[in-house]
Structure 1
Amino acid sequence: MTATGPRNGTDAVDVVALGESMVAFRPSRPGRLADVPSFERGIGGAESNAACVLAAAGHSVRWVSRVGADGFGDHLVAAIGSWGVDVGAVGRDPDRPTGVYFRTAGDRATDAHEVAYYRAGSAASAMSPDTVDRAALRACRVLHLSGITAALSAGCLRLLRELTAPGPGRPLISFDVNFRPALWRDADGPRVLLELARRADLVFVGDDEARAAWGLRGGRAISDALPEPGTVVVKQGAGGATAFTRDTAASEDGREDRDCLGDGVATHVTAPAVDVVAHVGAGDAFAAGFLSATLRRLPVRDRLRHGHLAAAAALTVPGDLAPPPGRGHADRLAALDDAAWGRLRLGPGWTRTARRADEEGATP
């Protein structure tokens, strides 16, 4: 994959992802942050993670954000661009820094970890309708957003409210709730996230975060609380995921893309067994896999399976990002019968095996 150079800012792409990315420092060995002697540099950001996975899956993708006019900003733009993502609409802020964070080697899905964020006053937190290229944001089939951006500042929230407002020419809005209690300075976070989710066309939410944010238990209760989106995907960790789809009419502008929501039923797909290395980035990868299959108009069951496969790629590496399996091999796995799907077990390196199978034309 090679970096995508600046474009004219309004070229239409499959997906635009808006949000903050930070330079991530992973420890050289397990231990407390106070004891770790050195760190390995990487990148991390919910929306940019999804953008990279989508680009690796063969889609045209643009990442829109702001970074500092500093070395960390240079690194982020180059690293995300190296995945094939269009970074021409990323702004540089001469007065605010690029965000960074440090984490320990423990599992972020449990309490056995430390994360230290240095993002307050970051360049990305200054995003607003006045500081981003709105034409670049709207020139797409799907606009992918997350609740993290809404928590960064009043300007960021104003931007998300503008982008999710109904109106002619609005792309399909994909919204990953991504409830992060530590980011919200007041009690309004859950209410704001519910508002934004109800304005989206496609919503991703974990059953655990729906319970924490809204007191909702069970996929059906979550779906009932979000009557407007055409698709609500409830993620249940190792238990799989359920897509609640509604048979909606085409959008006001008549575009078929919005009417790709299935037959109005609940579709559950179990997750394959995975030998987990780290949980970071798995939810972002799941959203990317589901979106990729949605863009290809695959059946809802296969969209969920592609989400699980992309998540399994992220779960089997130590960092936030992992290339998804090749499209051909992922399609073959997604087409397995239920019994064969239930026998899948994926471990570190499985995507490399998948790519070799694609090159050799093998079957699973």
Structure 2
Amino acid sequence: MHDSALSITRKKPNAPEIITFGEAMALLIAQSTGDLAEVEHFERRIAGADTNVAIGLARLGFHVGWLSRVGSDSLGRYIRKTLEDEGLDCQHMRTDPNLATGIMFKSRAEGAADPSVEYFRKGSAASALSPDDARDLDFTSLRHLHVTGIPPALSDSCLALTQHMQENARRAGASISFDPNLRPSLWRDEAHMRTTLNAIASNADWVLPGLAEGQLLSGYEKPEDIANFYLDRGCKAVIIKLGSEGSFYRGVLEGALTDTVMAGIEVDTVVDTVGAGDGFAVGVISALLDGLSPARALLRGNLIGAQAVQVSGDMEGLPTRQLLQTLEHTANAQQRDRAKC
């Protein structure tokens, strides 16, 4: 396909300070519990780990750019409008006239169980992404690049784009975060997935795996050993999600190795666990970009992750900066009260 067949929005005069890229999909959430085959009514939203992080950072006041492709269809138009309404800079989001927008179905789980999901994304517009889609991107203005393990799993051209984005962000002096977001079903085999994603992680500053992801990718069991695996490969910090137990940070600060552990945030009701890890990434990345300490970064990650699981939808629980400040103020006050006891 020739790029002359693609349309692109008019470039804005100011370039984004943060860039994310990947696939945004239309999300259909079941309105009743049970097998998806028995569900008659669905609610339309959008889905995508990369877009969840982009939206979360935009809600916190960052100028976030989104690089992707959608189909020339109603779902593509819906996704574009939704992302623009969220404040994302979509000047690098192209409309592909020949390929369709990906779709995801999600069940409504009961209790704290993970919902089941079904993807219809093979051969989607986003799977055709390549380094050429970044040809107009101003890397010199870039402050931070967020990468996940999903785009490189979609196609060889998406993997090439991932490598291109990292190389140019590094050359421009931007920081890079990497969340594996493992999707084993998208890879031809586990060994290829591990090799590819560990190479991508080695070119990042901050690596943010879940504990199970880190164990699978590194071959180690303990958070400390997983962190060392990536630190030895040149990463500056490894931040590991421990689920309800909280989170763990190991990194080099002012020449010294620093460990920090933060307990999880208790919530009254878990509605939907999908998107919790993306919310955690939003909290950690925003805190580190704000110049906060590892402890503050973990606390913010835990807080936003806890917000995400209390609502239906992947990104609906991501807070604004004002709400986040209220959450942090309350959490800090609770920590001070516990310290006095």
Query: How is 1:1-364 mapped onto 2 (pairs within 5 angstroms)?
Result: 8=11, 11-106=14-109, 113-133=115-135, 135-136=137-138, 139-165=141-167, 167-186=170-189, 187-227=191-231, 228-247=234-253, 264-274=257-267, 275-321=269-315, 322-324=317-319, 326-336=323-333, 338=335, 340=337
Q: Which digits, 9 at most, give the CA deviation of each residue in 1:17-67, with x for residues without a partner?
A: 111110000011111111001111000100110111111112111111111
* Distance in 2, Cα, partners of 1:341 & 1:276: 25
Q: Distance in 2 between matches of 1:108 and 1:64?
A: 35
**What is the total number of aligned residue pairs between the two structures?**
324
Report the AA paired with residue 247 of structure 1. L
Q: Hey, what's the Cα distance between the residues in 2 that align with 1:190 and 1:241?
A: 22
**What's the secondary structure of 1:178's corresponding residue?**
coil
Structure number with higher helix proportion: 2
What per-residue deviation string (whole Å, max 9, x for no partner) do you get for residues 161-205 of structure 1? 222237531411111111111111233001111111011011110
C-alpha distance in 1 between matches for 2:86 and 2:152: 26
Q: SS at 1:159's partner residue?
A: helix
- In the alignment, the residues of structure 2 paired with residue 100 and residue 334 of structure 1 have an alpha-carbon distance, to the nearest angstrom, of 37
**Counterpart contact for 2:142–2:172, Cα < 8 Å:** no
- Measured in 1, the distance between the counterparts of 2:14 and 2:130 equals 21
Cα displacement (A) at 1:337: 5.5
Q: Root-mean-square deviation (CA), in Å?
A: 2.3
**1:10 shift after superposition:** 6.9
Q: Which moved more, 1:294-303 or 1:158-167?
A: 158-167
Q: CA deviation at 1:114?
A: 3.0
Distance 1:264 1:134, change over 3 A: farther
Given that 1:16 and 1:137 are in contact with CA atoms closer than 8 Å, whether structure 2 keeps it comes out as: no
- Classify the secondary structure of the residue corresponding to 2:260: strand
Instruction: Give the secondary-structure state (helix, strand or coil) at the position aligned to 1:80.
Output: helix
- Give the alignment's TM-score, normalised by structure 1: 0.83
- Structure 2: distance between partners of 1:10 and 1:225: 41
Aligned-residue sequence identity (percent) comes to: 34
- Please state how far the C-alpha of 1:237 moved relative to its aligned partner: 0.4
Query: Does the CA-based 8 Å contact 1:283-1:311 persist in structure 2?
Result: yes
Closer, same or farther in 2 for the Cα pair 1:107/1:232, shift >3 Å? farther
- Give the letter aligned to residue 191 of structure 1: T
The CA distance in 2 between the partners of 1:124 and 1:248, in whole Å, is: 40
Unaligned runs of 5+ in 1: 250-262, 343-364
| 1:212-251 residue CA offsets vs partner (Å, 9 max, x unmatched) | 33322111111111021111101100011111111368xx
Q: Secondary structure at the match of 2:144?
A: strand
Query: What SS does structure 2 have at the residue aligned with 1:23?
Result: strand
Counterparts of 2:102 and 2:111, CA distance in 1: 19
- Amino acid aligned to 1:243: Y
